[in-house]
Structure 1
Amino acid sequence: MKTSEIGLALIKKWEGFSSTPYLDPIGIPTIGYGFIRYPGGVRVTTQDESITIAQADELLLQLLTQNYEADVHRLITAPLNQNQFDALVSFTYNLGAGNLAKSTLRRKVNLDPSNPSIRSEFTRWNQAAGRVLEGLTNRRQAEAALYFRPYNLKNQTR
């Protein structure tokens, strides 16, 4: 399973786009759609050259394929529909596979992907550097809403 157009749009919306490197809310050099590393693992620095939206779109697809989609496939053993997969890829893209691996969210999804308490597991992950961030709260709510949105095959694939 690959991230759908809906999943890509969710990630892009919440990450935003910056053509030039900047420091994220906790001081990590970032570029494009929230990239802190390039494909291959090289870290972003504040001295990196700017990138175009087209370059960022290509980098995003590479990173999703090489890392985040594979992480969700590896860590989630329960069958998922496309919306559930997309929500979990967005979560993992933002927080990393390590956080998904140790989360109660993962345990609950693997036990029963339709468990309604999964919604609140998404929303627990709304802090950066110990501070609740409104943007993270809103993103987790959007991911949970997508996770529980009835699946419709139409307009889902990339």
Structure 2
Amino acid sequence: MKTSPKGIALIQQFEGLRLAAYQDVVGVWTIGYGHTGADVRPGLAITQAQAVQLLAADLARFEAGVGRLVTVAVNQNQFDALVSFSYNLGLGSLQQSTLLRLLNQGDYAGAAGQFPRWDKAGGQALPGLLKRRQAEQALFLERA
């Protein structure tokens, strides 16, 4: 599956667009729509077109990861919510989560209930992360 325009818009909304490299709340160098990696360093600047390219490349990686980790059928909205979750937290977090375990057991409602639990960065609950998790949860529960 591929992330839908609705899923991409959700990620863009919560990641925001920054054309100059910055350190996120836990000190990770970030640019564009939440892109991280060895290529991001202090002083780096990109164009909006480059930010869109980075997002597309990052999404391909997270789409493949979600596709590999999820062993039950999901609809487009559920897939988009899981990609957004993973994009923000990493595939390792999804892989180790109760959310994934419940989903792969077929407990879709139980899995949906796990989203708000992932509202912390650096050990602190952040209102912005809770809003994102609630938006992902709502999308996950929305009929496709």
Q: Among residues 114, 119, 126, which one is paired with 1:126 in the alignment?
A: 119
Q: CA deviation at 1:29?
A: 0.9
Taking only aligned residues, the RMSD between alpha carbons, in angstroms, comes to: 1.0
- Residue 101 (structure 1) aligns with: 95
Unaligned runs of 5+ residues in structure 1 are: 152-158
Provide TM-score, normalisation by structure 1.
0.88
- Contact 2:29–2:41, Cα closer than 8 Å, also in 1: yes
Q: CA deviation at 1:35?
A: 0.8
- Residue 106 (structure 2) aligns with: 112
CA deviations over 1:82-104 (Å, ceiling 9, x no partner): 00000000000000011000000
State the secondary structure of the residue aligned to 1:78.
Answer: coil
| Greater relative contact order (Cα < 8 A, sep 6+) | 1
Q: CA deviation at 1:136?
A: 0.4
State the secondary structure of the residue aligned to 2:21.
Answer: strand
**Within-5 A mapping of 1:6-155:** 6-37=6-37, 42-48=38-44, 50-65=45-60, 67-112=61-106, 115-151=108-144
Provide TM-score, normalisation by structure 2.
0.96
Q: Which moved more, 1:97-106 or 1:51-60?
A: 51-60
Identity %: 49
| Structure with greater helix share of residues | 2
CA deviations over 1:118-156 (Å, ceiling 9, x no partner): 2221111000000000110000000000001010xxxxx
Mapped to 1, the partners of 2:127 and 2:63 lie a distance apart of: 26
State the secondary structure of the residue aligned to 2:27.
Answer: coil
- Residue 156 (structure 1) aligns with: none
Alignment size in residue pairs: 144
